[in-house]
Amino acid sequence: MDSLHSVMRSLSPAPKRKADRKRDHLTVFREFLSHLDRVSKQNAARDVKAVRKATKLPVDTHLMIVEPERYIEAFAEAGSDGITVHAEATPHVHRALGHIKSLGKRAGVVINPSTPESVLDYVLHLADLVLVMSVNPGFGGQSFLPEVLPKVAAIRRMIDERKLTVDIQIDGGISEKTARAATRAGARVLVAGNAVFGKPGYADAIAEIRREGEAGIAEAAS
């Protein structure tokens, strides 16, 4: 069976006292790969450094900013293991991916719900990761957009036909209710925020999402 990765989006709200929330977030950071959404350049590297101190596992940084190439080195130096940039945010995706890889980091490209998979044609071979947004970026708690699933399947075919080793990550509205459909379409890295941090038991929530995701992989293989 293909491997499935659970990625927890950091800095999501949790209905707990501040001290308990901090402790539980650190527990998640130690046990699961962490995904940081950066929509502001202010104090961004500081946030990455804080998460880096909390875990030895990979830190995946999603740059939701324009001209991301101007900030790649800062995020790399702060401790990011992987950096993803939006295809919509720079006219030089090829250059940005090359820059990330030159720093020894995993390079990813992100596409919004309305962006077609064709934008990946000439950069897919440079990417370690393709992130498909299943909501429009900006804030948490949005509903999953099922219309992106055919796009996920198309990207999976592109990767397989070219015999590339590229992960497909999906972010937005991922929960135990949507994980199966996402992995059945071809995603193998699931980003969850509210579906985990909005629950009283983080580990149980993660396990449930993982079970549904693995079921989707099994269905796709049958």
Which among 94, 184, 171 has a CA at the least distance from the CA of 140? 171
User: If you average pLDDT over residues 130-154, what whole number do you get?
Assistant: 92
What's 1's DSSP letter?
-
74-87 pLDDT, tens digit each = 999 999 999 999 99
Cβ within 8 Å of residue 158, ≥6 positions away = 117, 120, 124
Confidence of residue 10 (pLDDT cuts 50, 70, 90): very low
Cβ within 8 Å of residue 140, ≥6 positions away = 9, 12, 13, 193, 194
Q: What's the CA dihedral at 60, 49, 205, 184 to 10 degrees?
A: 0
In this predicted structure, the answer to whether residue 18 has a pLDDT above a threshold of 70 is no
Which among 27, 156, 135, 29 has a CA at the least distance from the CA of 81? 29
Confidence of residue 24 (pLDDT cuts 50, 70, 90): very low
User: If you average pLDDT over residues 108-117, what whole number do you get?
Assistant: 97
Confidence of residue 11 (pLDDT cuts 50, 70, 90): very low
Whole-model pTM: value is 0.85
> Looking at residue 17, what is its pLDDT?
44
Which among 219, 190, 218 has a CA at the least distance from the CA of 4? 190
Q: How far apart are CA 188 and CA 64, in angstroms?
A: 21
Confidence of residue 52 (pLDDT cuts 50, 70, 90): confident
Cβ within 8 Å of residue 170, ≥6 positions away = 131, 132, 133, 134, 148, 152, 182, 187, 189, 190, 191
> Average pLDDT of the chain?
84
Say if residues 188 and 2 touch (Cβ distance below 8 Å): yes
User: If you average pLDDT over residues 39-53, what whole number do you get?
Assistant: 74
> Looking at residue 4, what is its pLDDT?
63
Confidence of residue 45 (pLDDT cuts 50, 70, 90): confident
Place of tokens 């957009």: 145
In this predicted structure, the answer to whether residue 222 has a pLDDT above a threshold of 50 is yes
162-203 pLDDT, tens digit each = 999 999 999 999 999 999 999 999 999 999 888 988 888 888
Q: Is 35 exposed, middle or buried (0-12, 13-18, 19+ CB in 10 A)?
A: buried
| More confident position, 206 or 140 | 206
Q: How far apart are CA 212 and CA 158, in angstroms?
A: 25
Sketch out the chain's domains with CATH numbers: 5-221 (3.20.20.70)
Say if residues 193 and 6 touch (Cβ distance below 8 Å): no
